[in-house]
Structure 1
């Protein structure tokens, strides 16, 4: 871990000198990042500790059915790179866009564009708070279980070390360190799935134990072979809900969309288009199976505890296996998973505060913009840390809620901007507001209060209504679409 920290510090000091040139360098790495780096960075940013800790732990509760969540994510990855990546890069270059909110501003050019830009920035800050808290909680739990470090100290180290190197390196540092972290994460995914097999003595003993488990399941009854059969321990609706709410971040989350801005050229885009789903699929196939395999390593008493708090599953697995070298390598990779996502969202939060809110009222020089972005990132991380000390939900639920907010609030506006000339500013604004309202009302007022609604995730009603609102309002306000000359610039005609 010390070696890893040293490498990350060195990389960010090196790239920090380049990133300090101007806003374009600090925010977008001057659009000069090779395809293989972007591919690994996209993969490592999307699946953080919320996956390696939270989702791996969920398969302890729900068995191999949970692998289907990962397959849904891979499908969205393919959709993102096929239908969003090339167009988003091309349009962002033509419009000279450097953030996702300023893409909305420039694409839906009107007297309401500034309002859309500020509102989208506020949505980013809200959803990002939930997501960063989930990542920090997962990493802090791991340190607490494996190294017996106090939870507050683990969260502090994870958040503020990541904040420090992000402040130094900007987008250059974030992208290249994410690539290094992606390689480590692929190695750790393979280690995680192999450890239970080594512990129990191979393939046959593993599945013999899994076929006759006496551990109580979610309903309190012995599991038997339920972990091996699809849908025995959870509903198909819940698998779809988590698969869609988190998977759709790949087509709506600014920290992932901004990756398309930075890629070098069309050749690099094609490379990333092919390899990103492969990196993602290989890692998820391993990680989403781990929790189920850990049943063969724990006692019935430990299993009861993990059913109540599955976020501790991976940490307990390494503690039971008790190999300091492998645990050290795994901890390095798991911290890489958390840091890769924290770094990206920290940068997005800072750019949203300064470029998309502050500068709307107070124009700044490039130097002042970069400096204020750094201060804003530190301030935002302090707020996230305080939120992490008493998190409102588990890792998976916080991550899925953030994904639902992004999907419902941003996807119609992004997709409509990329493909539909008839999309209007009022359609975009109404869609964002509808997505936020339905997400919040459904989660905090309906889902856990109305009997039978717990498995109906907020992503479904929020996304459907938001998309419908975008289409209806845009059609009703057709006269507000930008003029044809501007649309020709947007669509490259």
Structure 2
């Protein structure tokens, strides 16, 4: 058999298995809204841990982080403690309190939580929150599709972006529509193992074939130029940028709903250990892949498409047997699908639950099966919009790499929702108007900083930290000059007592 056929067989088995999980999940757990969007709040520690980790990593870990390590060397590793420490913190503290509060208030979505926390009868908090989610997640998904088509382009020599994007879109839409949250998290578990094996096996095998760690160290140490020292820790700005990337984790709803879905809040402590282990191993695997790719392909033109974000694919294709390369490609597709399906579900819950049920039909009783149908239609529509936007992203990746598109959405959501969530859970003086100002301020600060300060003024500080800080200040200042809603303080204290 040709190499292409072997890769295709391996990839087909993987995709077929994902589809089978969706069909099975549709038969066992999609009966109501809590089932469809939170798996019935019955998931165990392993499933929640792996699902939270892989849904947060996406293609930016395999392609983006490895590409950053190829370009910058070991200094790219500063992104790892940024999100690893923050997500450990989320598992152990914020995630637990969010789980207690959302169950007691019967919240299914993050906008649900904000509305009930502040007794917002106007629906304004819910509408603004959903609008931000739809905007950033559509951009996020389109960037993932653009990343995925690169693998198909390499394997089958596609001259157009459409075939690869069509394949990924088809499979993600089908199993997400069929199985809802249960299908998403179960496929995440399988995808987590694909990602871990590829990110561990590939660098170990290449290091062995190249003569051991000493050869890699000697090569990296040979970069003595001030412009690039592959063993340098990086500038203060690069360190701050790397560490502050973790602020995005606090505000990304597709990660937060994982904590809301666990069977018992105390089990998040065990999930923290599992998730942190996975994060550390996968993160360093991506860094070593980038460093090894720089050793193997010192000139950028030697990489596929002369693109540093193809370091993983180029290395896997040259060193792995076609069957193993098929598994490596499956790992990349897994990273993409594990994020896209989660984000689609969050967007669909925002449209069906937060807009249709709670705003448009708030005075009526809407049947559960109708809500699930609306959610499934939303998944399809949003995926189609992201599909066409992904074509645009693919054609303009020279201006902004995939890593940049993903991190813009990541940091925007982190700034809009992160400070609002933390202060809502831990500061009883927070008000609905304060949170609303944080939503808008975080969104505006992220976009302005990215477009003006980074793109026009060429300031090196990335948008993650300024957006988060500005949103926090907005919430604190506005909360201090506005009134806490009636009943909000009592509910806040009740949730704290239940947690204890």
Question: Scaled by the length of structure 2, what TM-score is found?
Answer: 0.90
Counterpart pick for 2:473 among 468, 472, 477: 468
Residues 21 and 175 in structure 2, CA contact (< 8 A), matched pair in contact too: no
Q: Deviations over 1:162-219 (max 9, x none)?
A: 11111111011111111111122111111232243144232233333333369xx995
Residues 80 and 280 in structure 2, CA contact (< 8 A), matched pair in contact too: yes
Q: Deviations over 1:315-358 (max 9, x none)?
A: 22123325212201111222111111111001111111111112
Unpaired runs of 5+ residues, structure 1, are none
Residues 145 and 312 in structure 1, CA contact (< 8 A), matched pair in contact too: no
Q: CA deviation at 1:479?
A: 4.4
Give the structure 2 partner of residue 386 of structure 1. Answer: 388
Q: CA deviation at 1:422?
A: 1.3
Residues 200 and 285 in structure 2, CA contact (< 8 A), matched pair in contact too: yes
Residues 69 and 240 in structure 1, CA contact (< 8 A), matched pair in contact too: no
| Inter-partner Cα distance in structure 2 for 1:282 and 1:18 | 33
Give the structure 2 partner of residue 21 of structure 1. Answer: 31
Give the structure 1 partner of residue 462 of structure 2. Answer: 457
Give the structure 2 partner of residue 8 of structure 1. Answer: 18
Give the structure 2 partner of residue 338 of structure 1. Answer: 336
Residues 40 and 276 in structure 1, CA contact (< 8 A), matched pair in contact too: yes
| Inter-partner Cα distance in structure 2 for 1:292 and 1:147 | 27
Counterpart pick for 2:445 among 438, 458, 482: 438
Give the structure 1 partner of residue 111 of structure 2. Answer: 101
Residues 431 and 466 in structure 1, CA contact (< 8 A), matched pair in contact too: yes
Residues 117 and 424 in structure 2, CA contact (< 8 A), matched pair in contact too: yes
Give the structure 2 partner of residue 302 of structure 1. Answer: 301
The alpha-carbon distance between structure 1 residues 479 and 66, as it changes in their structure 2 partners (threshold 3 A), is closer
Moved more, 297-306 or 197-206: 297-306
SS in 2 for 1:227: coil
| Inter-partner Cα distance in structure 2 for 1:484 and 1:51 | 41
Within the alignment, does 1:395 sit opposite 2:398 as a pair?
Answer: no
| Inter-partner Cα distance in structure 2 for 1:142 and 1:243 | 30
Give the structure 2 partner of residue 167 of structure 1. Answer: 177
SS in 1 for 2:295: coil
Give the structure 2 partner of residue 158 of structure 1. Answer: 168
| Inter-partner Cα distance in structure 2 for 1:370 and 1:197 | 49
| Inter-partner Cα distance in structure 1 for 2:115 and 2:142 | 29
The alpha-carbon distance between structure 1 residues 448 and 481, as it changes in their structure 2 partners (threshold 3 A), is farther
The number of residues matched between the two structures is 478
The alpha-carbon distance between structure 1 residues 326 and 213, as it changes in their structure 2 partners (threshold 3 A), is farther
| Inter-partner Cα distance in structure 1 for 2:172 and 2:475 | 37
The alpha-carbon distance between structure 1 residues 370 and 194, as it changes in their structure 2 partners (threshold 3 A), is same
Counterpart pick for 1:369 among 365, 371, 375: 371
Q: CA deviation at 1:299?
A: 5.4
The alpha-carbon distance between structure 1 residues 10 and 75, as it changes in their structure 2 partners (threshold 3 A), is same
Give the structure 2 partner of residue 348 of structure 1. Answer: 346
Counterpart pick for 1:87 among 66, 79, 97: 97
Q: Deviations over 1:130-172 (max 9, x none)?
A: 2212222222122222432342211221123111111111011
The alpha-carbon distance between structure 1 residues 361 and 299, as it changes in their structure 2 partners (threshold 3 A), is same
Q: CA deviation at 1:267?
A: 4.6
Unpaired runs of 5+ residues, structure 2, are 1-10
Residues 82 and 242 in structure 2, CA contact (< 8 A), matched pair in contact too: no
The alpha-carbon distance between structure 1 residues 301 and 489, as it changes in their structure 2 partners (threshold 3 A), is closer
| Inter-partner Cα distance in structure 2 for 1:4 and 1:88 | 34
Give the structure 2 partner of residue 30 of structure 1. Answer: 40
Within the alignment, does 1:193 sit opposite 2:203 as a pair?
Answer: yes
| Inter-partner Cα distance in structure 2 for 1:49 and 1:484 | 41
Within the alignment, does 1:324 sit opposite 2:322 as a pair?
Answer: yes
Give the structure 2 partner of residue 311 of structure 1. Answer: 309
The alpha-carbon distance between structure 1 residues 481 and 441, as it changes in their structure 2 partners (threshold 3 A), is farther
Residues 95 and 490 in structure 1, CA contact (< 8 A), matched pair in contact too: no
Residues 134 and 394 in structure 1, CA contact (< 8 A), matched pair in contact too: no
Q: Deviations over 1:277-298 (max 9, x none)?
A: 1111111111122111112222
Q: CA deviation at 1:121?
A: 0.5
Residues 54 and 335 in structure 2, CA contact (< 8 A), matched pair in contact too: yes
Give the structure 1 partner of residue 7 of structure 2. Answer: none
| Inter-partner Cα distance in structure 1 for 2:263 and 2:376 | 25
Moved more, 480-489 or 68-77: 480-489
The alpha-carbon distance between structure 1 residues 192 and 322, as it changes in their structure 2 partners (threshold 3 A), is closer
Counterpart pick for 2:53 among 17, 27, 43: 43
| Inter-partner Cα distance in structure 1 for 2:428 and 2:466 | 26
Give the structure 2 partner of residue 241 of structure 1. Answer: 241
Moved more, 378-387 or 183-192: 183-192
Question: Scaled by the length of structure 1, what TM-score is found?
Answer: 0.92
Residues 153 and 164 in structure 2, CA contact (< 8 A), matched pair in contact too: yes
Give the structure 1 partner of residue 141 of structure 2. Answer: 132
SS in 2 for 1:390: helix
Give the structure 1 partner of residue 6 of structure 2. Answer: none
SS in 1 for 2:392: coil
Residues 167 and 374 in structure 1, CA contact (< 8 A), matched pair in contact too: yes
Counterpart pick for 2:220 among 181, 203, 210: 210
| RMSD, matched Cα | 2.1
Q: CA deviation at 1:240?
A: 2.8
SS in 1 for 2:230: helix
Q: CA deviation at 1:483?
A: 4.4
Give the structure 1 partner of residue 157 of structure 2. Answer: 148
